A and B are shown apart, each in its own frame.
Chain A
Amino acid sequence: MLDRESTFADAEIIKTLQTKFVSVAIDQAYQRRQKDTEGDFYRGIAKDSPRGDGSNGGTTQGLYIATPDGKYLGYTNHRSPERIKKFIAESLAKFKPTNVDSIKPEKIDRRYHPVLPKGGLVVRVQARVLDGYEPTDNKWQKIFQSSLSRDNLWLTNKEHESIVNGVIPAKVQRRVARFHLVDNTRGEPPMWRDDEIKSINMKLENGKLTGNASLSTRDGSRTFDCDFYGYVKTSDGMITRFDVIALGKFFGEGTYTKNAPKGKFPLGISFTLADGKDVADPIPPQASRGWLDGYLKN
């Protein structure tokens, strides 16, 4: 998120990436584990970087530049646009265009290529902390404080049919609670455990969705109480509109979501039917990483 609002908001970097590179965004937690063609290609690049190929179990996150045949040209984990421009210029200076074959995916590690169930639906989930932060002059903190997070909610064909018939299945309600009623505005959030759902109730009447949810860790170090409000419209057996808001008071933070506002703070979460026009629409839900069956089970 920080990179979206800093590095990739710089006009010169955008222009360079538009014209001189093929750019790809990945969750490297997949590629460094994949036992397949893509995983081999990624680790072949990363192994020559200061990060290594991840075989020690550590993250390989950062920015890489490589040739089309997978030769490492450069790496940085900085965010400052000036450092990134220097990194790009130095890497480009090493690049010589040559004829290279396209690599075919001869082997695919299915565990790390989750696919939306046939007939299923993608719902975009976006969240923002609406108030409660201490004022700051720090530009990075300011970006965090106003950030809009992104994730996707997946629904199966059967769940889609159930919603068309006016019922939000209990499994869907618990999936929403556990994996999507989270504060992911400052980083990867802790998800909720099943026994941390104190209550959830989503009711659909004449296309209007209302309800509420209450979540709490056992020790009360993280809590969220919210209301739902919105609209679900259907036509010819298909959901054609899914515009829902969860609004409530969140408390606490996680290992990678430090610096939350003190005390309880307002968190707004929107759920919107994906139309396939966003590059992020096919990205699997964060909570399904290596565990799609577990994600859909809830």
Chain B
Amino acid sequence: MFLMDSFEMQHRLSFYRPVWFFFVVAIVIQSANATDELNEEKFQQLHQSLQTSADEPWRQIPWEISLLNAQNSAAKSQKPIFIWAMDGHPLGCT
């Protein structure tokens, strides 16, 4: 069995310190990239999750997006007009 004395061990560790430091930094950087990287798997999952579902309740209302078209429909059906008026289009902005 090979045994190093204390001095030799300290000498060897200090000799390898830059190598160990580089190795540890490389692992940290690699794992950080693995977390943030936009890869195929993450793309598929994220793209799917960033789509509006057809089942959203507000989409069950037959919205018009032209006020005059709404007036024409209301005149034909003799119904009142419900106007959702926002800053920025309520169906298409924000």
Contact = CB atoms under 8 A, between A and B. Distances in A.
A223 interface: no
Interface of B: 38-39, 42-43, 46-47, 49-52, 56-94
A295 interface: no
A68 B76 CA distance: 9
A115 B78 CA distance: 30
A151 B81 contact: no
B57 A8 contact: yes
Contact of B64 (A4, A23, A62): A23
Contacts, number: 239
A149 to B, nearest CB: 5
A91 B69 CA distance: 21
Interface residues of A, number: 86
B87 A188 contact: yes
Task: Tell me whether chain B's interface is mostly helix, strand or loop, or mixed.
Answer: mixed
A148 B46 CA distance: 12
B77 A26 contact: no
Nearest to B76: A102
Task: Tell me whether chain A's interface is mostly helix, strand or loop, or mixed.
Answer: mixed
A48 B4 CA distance: 94
Given A1-B94, A184-B93, A283-B91, A41 B82 contact: no
Contacts of A92: 80
Contacts of A21: 79-82
4 tightest A-B CB contacts, nearest first:
A283-B92, A270-B50, A24-B70, A8-B58
Contacts of A38: 66-68
